[in-house]
A and B are shown apart, each in its own frame.
Chain A
Amino acid sequence: MRLVMQLRKTAFLGILVALAVALNILESFFPSPLPWIRLGLANLLTLVAIISCGWREGFLVTVMRVIIASLLFGGFLSPSFLLSLGGGLAGTAVMALMAPGVWRLYSPLGMSVAGAFTHGLAQVIILRFVLVRTWEVLYLLPWVLLPAVLAGTATGLLANLLLVRRRSYFEMLGGKQA
């Protein structure tokens, strides 16, 4: 029985990673007013992983998504890869800290907003060290962070819808429910 649970969880995480990569690619086709503005749909899957499994699984989904997407797009280990990975790790860390099991104060909406903000903040800081190398890049901060908060809100609302409406679905697939 234990083995079955283990396999079920592995399959579940595999689906989450695959969906995250697919959404990441889909999203790159949308036009954007500023190059760094994205909805961050792939973050949905990290949220689901953190809530239905735990923080380790959240990091797993984020890291696997970034690596696989960079292999597909090209640019593995390039500066833009470092931006994605750094932003992803920072965002996931904050979302994991805000997870329902820890505080019970926020829904995935709050997690998503904080995660998106941290993602943007980390990317600008990494930008300072790997690409631009002057502190002037900090002037970008409001232009990065405001859209990030908006995108995080949209993604968070979607995550809430997903988790409530598909509750039985996630239970079936395996993870404990929040």
Chain B
Amino acid sequence: MRSSRITALWGPGGRRLLLGDAAVLVFFTLLSLSFFSLGGARGKAETVEVEVSGEKVLTVGRGESGVREVSGPLGTTRIEIRDRQVRILSSPCPLKICQRAGWIGAAGEMLVCLPNEVTVRLPGRPPGSVDALSR
């Protein structure tokens, strides 16, 4: 039973099995795609968490724009959230390292002001990190 190069791709069963294969392929592709609806719903419900002296004082949704203020030992730190990004707008600390750190936007990133004991965190796992590799 010689098959041509093209029909050989459809296997020993010949074209008769083509329909079954196509049905399987379409079914599993659609099933895979349907799982995207799972991720879209809650995937964006990320927050900005602000701690002063080790205590959580503020949790803001990343989607909210605006300036928030928290007070630490030295005075008031102003935190700006815009376009799902966060920065420290102004700080009473002497060196302004936290201000110069600029915007952060990726999960797992963090802004720290040591003098005023303020930390701003974007909770989550940094993208692209790998726990284990299975082969």
Q: Which of A3-52 contact B (CB under 8 A)?
A: 24, 27-28, 35-36
B residues within 8 A CB of A167? Answer: 12
Q: Which of B40-54 contact A (CB under 8 A)?
A: 42-43
Which one of B8, B24, B32, B132 lies within 8 Å of A106 (CB-CB)?
B24
Q: Does B11 contact A (CB under 8 A)?
A: yes
Q: Are A110 and B32 in contact (CB under 8 A)?
A: no
Q: Are B35 and A107 in contact (CB under 8 A)?
A: no
The interface residues of chain A, by DSSP majority, are classed as helix
Which one of A35, A157, A165 lies within 8 Å of B130 (CB-CB)?
A35
B77 to chain A, nearest CB (A): 30
Alpha-carbon separation in the docked complex, A156 to B20 (Å): 13
The contact size tier of chain A is 35 or more
Known: A141-B38, A149-B32, A161-B8. A110 touches B135 (CB 8 A): no
Q: Are A78 and B132 in contact (CB under 8 A)?
A: yes
B residues within 8 A CB of A69? Answer: 135
Which residue of chain B has its CB nearest to the CB of A136? Answer: B42
Q: Does B95 contact A (CB under 8 A)?
A: no
A119 to chain B, nearest CB (A): 11
Known: A69-B135, A110-B17. A138 touches B25 (CB 8 A): no
Alpha-carbon separation in the docked complex, A106 to B19 (Å): 8
A residues within 8 A CB of B32? Answer: 117, 141-142, 145-146, 148-149
Interface string of B9-32 (1 = CB under 8 A from A): 111110001101101110011011
Which residue of chain A has its CB nearest to the CB of B25? Answer: A113
B residues within 8 A CB of A114? Answer: 24, 28
Point out residues on A near B: beta carbons under 8 Å: 24, 27-28, 35-36, 69-70, 73, 78-81, 83-84, 87, 100, 103-110, 113-114, 117, 123, 131-132, 138-139, 141-142, 145-146, 148-149, 152-153, 156-157, 159-161, 163-165, 167, 177-178
A-B contacts besides A84-B134, A109-B11, 4 pairs, CB < 8 Å: A107-B10, A117-B32, A145-B28, A178-B12
A-B contact pairs, 25 of them (CB 8 A): A73-B135, A80-B133, A80-B135, A87-B134, A100-B12, A100-B13, A103-B20, A106-B21, A106-B24, A107-B21, A109-B21, A110-B24, A113-B24, A138-B35, A139-B39, A139-B43, A142-B38, A145-B32, A149-B25, A149-B32, A153-B25, A156-B21, A159-B11, A178-B12, A178-B13
